[in-house]
């Protein structure tokens, strides 16, 4: 498998989050809460920390410096906002941001050149309504391959709380579901 195939697999496996109309009808009425830019940064950093705690272990963490989605063409990601970058580094001091060019140089024969490294991809924060937001986080390691997952957060009136889909009634699907 060559590098183009690895990157295509990485991009194709980004998660798409959806909520059916029947799920939305079951939520109690509430004033919708939009995440502020500082809250977006905090939520994203918490999702990255959680994904790295689960999948990275004690490795060097490299974070792509762009916001990417499943449909983002190579080289077309949105620049990482400074507040998100700062929040991620504050939560994971060992994280280093890399460009797409630097990322490409880390692969050899479809695998990371350094087996003690993880590359993290951050998707945009998506407002799912009813005070629930989601952010997709991808982690690539030689040991686990490519893993992407959706992290959900719900506004409880005071803070954004990490929740699971089963607690919110939101259906999280992948592009192949």
C-alpha count within 13 angstroms, C-beta hemisphere, residue 54: 15
Q: What is the pLDDT of residues 77-116, one digit of tens each?
A: 889 999 999 999 999 988 999 998 999 999 988 899 999 9
Position 106 scores a pLDDT of 94
Residue 53 CA to residue 145 CA, distance in Å, equals 16
Contacts of 125 (CB under 8 A, 6+ apart): 35, 40, 43, 44, 133, 134, 135
**pTM of the predicted structure, to 2 decimals:** 0.77
Structure tokens at 141: 């390691």
Q: What is the pLDDT of residues 27-37, one digit of tens each?
A: 444 566 889 99
Structure tokens at 108: 């050899």
Q: What is the pLDDT of residues 30-83, one digit of tens each?
A: 566 889 999 999 999 999 999 999 999 889 999 999 998 766 777 778 899 999
Long-range contacts of 152-160 (CB under 8 A, 24+ apart): 152/128, 153/43, 153/46, 153/47, 155/33, 155/131, 160/35, 160/39, 160/42, 160/43, 160/133
Structure tokens at 18: 């959806």
């Amino acid at each position: 498998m060559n590098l183009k195939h690895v990157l295509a697999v990485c991009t194709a496996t980004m998660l798409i989050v959806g909520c059916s109309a029947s799920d939305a009808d079951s939520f109690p009425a509430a004033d919708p809460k939009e995440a502020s830019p500082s809250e977006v940064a905090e939520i994203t950093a918490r999702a990255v920390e959680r994904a790295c705690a689960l999948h990275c272990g004690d490795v060097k963490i490299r974070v792509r410096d762009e916001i990417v989605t499943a449909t983002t063409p190579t080289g077309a990601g949105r620049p990482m906002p400074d507040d998100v970058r700062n929040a991620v580094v504050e939560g994971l001091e060992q994280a280093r941001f890399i460009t797409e060019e630097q990322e490409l140089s880390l692969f050899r024969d479809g695998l990371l050149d350094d087996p003690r490294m993880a590359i993290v991809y951050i998707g945009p924060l998506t407002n799912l309504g009813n005070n629930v937001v989601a952010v997709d986080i991808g982690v690539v390691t030689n040991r686990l391959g490519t893993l992407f997952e959706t992290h959900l957060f719900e506004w409880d009136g005071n803070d954004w709380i990490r929740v699971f889909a089963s607690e919110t009634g939101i259906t999280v699907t992948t592009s192949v579901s």
